[in-house]
Amino acid sequence: MDITVSMVKELRDKTNAGMMDCKEALSASEGNLEKAVEYLRKKGLSAATKRSSRATKDGMVESYIHMAGKIGVMVEVNCETDFVAKTDNFRGMVKDIAMHIAATNPTYLKPEDVPENVMERERVIYRDQALAEGKPEKIVDRIIDGKINKFYEEVCLLNQKFVKDMDITIQTLVNNVIANTGENITVKRFARFQLGEDV
């Protein structure tokens, strides 16, 4: 199939990927735009994995105030260079993450941050639920694993579905910007404050 300039432009506008990457993605997916987007996402994910060991000493702290001062968020996102930290792409992502935190109120940054006693409590609850529903013992562990993944999606920022695009997680949002900038990017920490909330 012939890949036209307008097809490449449409994919570029949608993904911000490079021209040659867009052409390659369209060729690999036989001109199907949605499959080409998926192809670029997967490619970005593998590129992000390769870059994940590189040090991130630059970046920015972003604040977001919501509901006329009733909710406030601060988030620190790091990248490798000051050059990337100043790009609209990076700054827009950090702003989006701050807004997302205000909307979803995650408890932890990533699954590794969830204390073991919390995980143990969740596992006991899920096991008791499965057995009470009469599920066979041999599949209970699989059910628990599925519920644990769901739990991570609810409480861990990087595992949550992005509020502006529920097809991707916050980690995928970060990975897409990694693929676009060519630098490692990490969400370092965040804090969310709500007026009248118990500390």
- What pLDDT, on the 0 to 100 scale, is given for residue 15? 67
Longest CA–CA span in the chain (Å) reads 61
Nearest of 188, 192, 166, 164 to residue 67 by alpha carbon? 192
Tell me the CATH architecture of domain 58-109+156-194.
Answer: 2-Layer Sandwich (3.30)
| Amino acid identity for residue 60 in this structure | M
Residue where the block lists tokens 């060729």: 27
Q: Within a 10 A sphere around the Cβ of 171, how many other Cβ atoms?
A: 18
- What pLDDT, on the 0 to 100 scale, is given for residue 185? 94
- What pLDDT, on the 0 to 100 scale, is given for residue 70? 93
Fold that domain 115-154 belongs to in CATH: GTP Cyclohydrolase I; Chain A, domain 1 (1.10.286)
- What pLDDT, on the 0 to 100 scale, is given for residue 170? 96
Nearest of 19, 20, 24, 46 to residue 36 by alpha carbon? 24
What's the CA gap between 157 and 167, in Å, rounded? 15
- What pLDDT, on the 0 to 100 scale, is given for residue 74? 97
- What pLDDT, on the 0 to 100 scale, is given for residue 147? 94
| Amino acid identity for residue 149 in this structure | N
Give the pTM: 0.71
CATH class for the domain made up of 5-51: mainly alpha
- Flag residues of the chain having pLDDT under 70: 15-17, 44-54, 198-199
**pLDDT digits 0-9 by tens, 143-193:** 999 999 999 999 999 999 999 999 999 999 999 999 888 889 999 999 999
Residue where the block lists tokens 């590189």: 54
Sequence spans of domains, the chain: 5-51, 58-109+156-194, 115-154
